[in-house]
Amino acid sequence: MRKASRGLTAVASAVLLLGVAACGTDSGSDGKSSGAPGGQGFTPPDIPMQKSIGPMEGQVNILAWPGYAEDGSNDATVDWVTPFETATGCQANVKYFATSDEAVQLMKSGEYDVVSASGDATLRLIAGGDVAPVNTDLLKNYGGIESFLKNQPFNSVDGQMYGVPHGWGANLLMYNTEKVNPAPTSWAAVFDDASQYAGKVTAYDSPIYIADAALYLMNTQPDLGIKDPYALDKDQLAAAVDLLKKQKDNISEYWSDYLKEVQAFENGDSLVGTTWQVIASLAESDGAPVKAFLPSEGSTGWSDTWMISSKAKNPNCGYAWMDYITSPQAQAAVAEYFGEAPANTGACELTTDPTFCDTYHAKDAAFAKQIHYWTTPIEQCLDGRTDVKCTDYGDWTTAWTEIKG
Amino acid sequence: MLWLGVAYLGALAALLVTSLWTQNDFTGNIERSWNLDNFRDLFTIGVYRTITLRTIGIAALVTVVDAVLAFPIALFMAKVASPRWQRLLVIAVLMPLWASYLVKAYAWRGMLSSDGLLQSVLSPFGLGTPGYGLPATTMTLAYLWLPYMILPIYAGLERLPDSLFEASADLGAGSWTTLRRVVLPMVFPAFVAGSIFTFSLTMGDYIAVKIVGGTSQLLGNVVYDNQGAANNLPFAAAVATVPIVVMLAYLAAVRRTGALEQL
């Protein structure tokens, strides 16, 4: 489980310098190397970018977050995959994944052409050489995407986009409206006050959930000096781990399979816990008395990017999918179903709820800044501290195993 | 035989080799430098010891529960039931094996849920469902592996000549004494054979724990989380050697009892 620290350090410092290093990078000739020596900048493996769109291959293998590629099998009225298949002749084979780690793992298999990656997966995929740069000129709908989502540290390297922004949103707190009184307003409901609902609390089963605890500590224990929930030094991580260990006594189960959480809320095994809007919508549509909201402390969240595999067998259908899924029509459908802000705000005209984009602050760059997007914790503190070493994702994975015990 | 050697032992060897590599935490790529770091972490980080002991404990408990449940059923099938019933009972015991593992595990998830069957049946007695956790895991696994215990014991009892029962009775032993002094020692190898199945299947299980285990994790989950989620194949391989070692130790102990010769 120990890192190969030299390589990691190089990558990590490189990532940190990402914003400033605009030139002077040599192209990594070694396909496996993930860090540039000398820390001139973050140098991903040299992977060619597609120049033009060729004939469609007839199918595309899509790896997506649950709810991002609905073909009507979950809900007959929710279907934006079939129109894509009809228009392009590409049969869409969709696989949903439960955590970013799983997405990274599956992308390494080379079986998938495109993936909807969150910020805690994107850089790992780029650095690992698993995804190719994206030629945005080949995408008709790229122009409609909000500019504050383009050329971000988590989806581009040196001004080269490695994907198309899909949408963004916050992790929410969901509770059972019949059994949880009074209605919670803060994440305290799953941390300090969790014992009220002992054995009925649920939490997301991934090391990245440690950031949720860190965010809570950032608000309740300012002495710890947490500035960024993804930049935790050893002591701060220990505090977050303590909080999560206390929380564990009250947890009924951790969820990563979204359908398992829907079911747990429907039959009352879980009463309160972190969730995504799509889970709340599914539970509600099944008649469960649940409500999901953004607690007062703010929240962690995600900003997702469609990326194309460096080993894509169906790159043309892959580009067709990336273009289609970021079109205003598809974006309106996905965003409303999943409950997130669409990246292409052309979608705002097409949503069934005319105020949808206002509710999700889709055009509000300032609001978007307040969400702590999932990102990969690395040794160099993301909050700019240079006097301490921060804990990296490997440390978080070990900590998560320890928390679960 | 060669094929078995290559396909089976080769895979095991590859697993062991992988466990000596290391992984880049950031990109998740495997780096092929030889070291024992994975095993050092496995032994020095306390949580893995806890999980190993918990897994062995659950495996032993499931085995005992299955042995206790299986013996009366097998005895009835082999010695009491008429031949016609015998056939029907064997089919009945085998029947659950026709259904998917997942269906059965999710059925237990439904039964154990707080508005499930167990709750409504037990609540009049002031009891409730144990909820999701280790007791639920033990129950589910014991249910899943029960046929693997019944069948060897049934086969062992079948081979026991009826004349032994008569001889024991003629010599003045009650049925309890016969059971204890004659039947149990003779079918002991069958128990051991069954226990190999229940013990090893439990050692490697991770799905039932994920479905009904609540917050608890077993060795299988650590392997799964490291392989499927954290993407750390070398460490997962290191963890996977633990059940292999435990099973080898178990088989060596079993061999000393001589049970393997009677299989």
- What confidence tens digit (pLDDT) does each residue in A293-352 have? 888 888 999 899 999 999 999 999 999 999 999 999 999 999 988 888 999 999 999 988
Type of residue numbered B13: A
Instruction: Count interface pairs A-B at CB distance under 8 A.
Output: 117
Nearest CA in chain B to A127: B27
- Residue A196 tokens, joined: 């009220």
Type of residue numbered A30: D
Q: What is the pLDDT of residue B229?
A: 61
Which helix (H) or strand (E) is A282 found in, with range?
A: helix A277-285
Which helix (H) or strand (E) is A300 found in, with range?
A: strand A300-309
Residue A45 DSSP one-character state = B
Contact A290, A265 (CB under 8 A): yes
CA distance A110 to A96: 16
Question: Does residue B21 carry a pLDDT above 70?
Answer: yes
CA distance B121 to A142: 59
A167-188: average pLDDT = 91
CA distance B142 to B227: 26
Residue B31 DSSP one-character state = E
Query: CA of A19 to nearest chain B CA: how many angstroms apart?
Result: 19
CA distance A352 to A346: 13
Q: What is the pLDDT of residue A290?
A: 93
Q: Calculate what percentage of chain A has a pLDDT beyond 90.
A: 46
CB-CB under 8 Å, A101 with B217: no
Which position has the higher pLDDT, B185 or B230? B185
Residue A140 CB partners (closer than 8 Å, separation 6+): A323, A327
Tokens 């780029």 belong to A126
Portion 269-308 of A in contact with B at CB < 8 A? 269
* A178 and B CB contact within 8 Å: no
Q: What is the pLDDT of residue A16?
A: 40
Nearest CA in chain B to A402: B47
Query: CA of B42 to nearest chain A CA: how many angstroms apart?
Result: 9
A261-276: average pLDDT = 91
What backbone phi and psi angles, to 5 degrees, belong to B170?
Answer: -60, -35
Contact A311, A373 (CB under 8 A): no
CA distance B48 to B41: 9
Which residues in chain A have their CB less than 8 angstroms from residue B213's CB? 253
* B225 and A CB contact within 8 Å: yes
CA distance A341 to A347: 10
Q: What is the pLDDT of residue B27?
A: 66
Which helix (H) or strand (E) is A395 found in, with range?
A: helix A393-404
What angle, 0 to 180 degrees and rounded to 10, lies between the N-to-C axes of helices A210-220 and A234-248? 100
B130-145: average pLDDT = 91
Query: CA of A309 to nearest chain B CA: how many angstroms apart?
Result: 15
pLDDT band at A268 (very low <50, low <70, confident <90, very high): confident
CA distance A60 to A89: 10
- Residues B50-92 pLDDT 10s: 999 999 999 999 999 999 999 999 999 998 889 899 999 999 9
Best to test chain A binding among B19, B25, B43 (most A CBs inside 10 Å): B25
- Residues B175-210 pLDDT 10s: 888 888 888 888 888 999 899 999 999 998 999 998
Task: Select from A136, A139, A103, A135 the least CA-distant residue to A118.
Answer: A103
Q: What is the pLDDT of residue B262?
A: 59
DSSP calls for A200-253: -EEEE-SGGGHHHHHHHHHHH-GGG--SSTT---HHHHHHHHHHHHHHHTTEEE
CA distance A79 to A61: 17
CA distance A202 to A218: 21
CA distance A234 to A250: 25
Contact A115, A131 (CB under 8 A): yes
Task: Select from A61, A25, A56, A70 the least CA-distant residue to A43.
Answer: A25
CB-CB under 8 Å, A3 with B214: no
Question: Does residue A2 carry a pLDDT above 50?
Answer: no
Task: Select from B97, B219, B232, B200 the least CA-distant residue to A4.
Answer: B232
The average confidence (pLDDT) of chain A is 84
* A215 and B CB contact within 8 Å: no
Burial per residue of A134-146, b for 16 or more beta-carbon CB atoms within 10 angstroms, e otherwise: bbbebbebbebbb
Question: Does residue A247 carry a pLDDT above 90?
Answer: yes
Can you tell me the ipTM of this complex?
0.73
Q: Calculate what percentage of chain A has a pLDDT beyond 70.
A: 90
- pTM, rounded to two decimals: 0.76
- Residue B66 tokens, joined: 């299955």
pLDDT band at A209 (very low <50, low <70, confident <90, very high): very high
> Could you tell me the CA-to-CA distances from A25 to A38, A42, A155, B203 in Å, in that order?
10, 8, 18, 50
Tokens 């097998």 belong to B74
A389-402: average pLDDT = 87
Best to test chain B binding among A1, A16, A130 (most B CBs inside 10 Å): A1
A396-402: average pLDDT = 88
Residue A180 CB partners (closer than 8 Å, separation 6+): A189, A197, A271, A272
